[in-house]
Amino acid sequence: MKRGIAVFFVLCLLAAAGMADFKVLTTFYPMYILTQNVTEGIDGVSVSNMAEQTVGCLHDYSLQTQDMVSLEQADALVINGGGMEQFMERVLSIRSDLPIIDASQGIEMEPSIEEGMLNAHVWMDPEMAAVQVRNIAEGLAAADDMHADQYRANAEAYEARLAALSASLAEQLSPLSGTRIITFHEAFNYFAERYGMVVAGVIANEPGEEPSTRDIADTCDLVRSLDIRTLFVEPQYPQTAAEIIARETGASIYTLDPCVSGTGMPDSYEQIQLENARVLREAFGL
39 versus 81: smaller Cβ distance to Zn ion: 81
Residues that bind Zn ion (CB under 5 A): 57, 187
154 versus 276: smaller Cβ distance to Zn ion: 276
CB of 122 to Zn ion, least distance (A): 11
Alpha-helix runs per DSSP H in the chain: 2-19, 29-39, 65-73, 88-94, 126-143, 148-173, 189-194, 213-225, 240-249, 268-283
CB of 59 to Zn ion, least distance (A): 5
Q: Which DSSP category does 204 fall into?
A: -
Q: Report d(CA 281, CA 285) in Å as an integer.
A: 6
82 versus 139: smaller Cβ distance to Zn ion: 82
187 versus 199: smaller Cβ distance to Zn ion: 187
CB of 170 to Zn ion, least distance (A): 23
The 10 Å Cβ neighbour count of residue 266 is 15
CB of 109 to Zn ion, least distance (A): 13
Three-class SS state of 33: helix
99 versus 208: smaller Cβ distance to Zn ion: 208
Q: Report d(CA 74, CA 45) in Å as an integer.
A: 11
* C-alpha dihedral, 81 to 83 to 259 to 244, nearest 10°: -170
CB of 80 to Zn ion, least distance (A): 10
Residue nearest to Zn ion (CB): 57
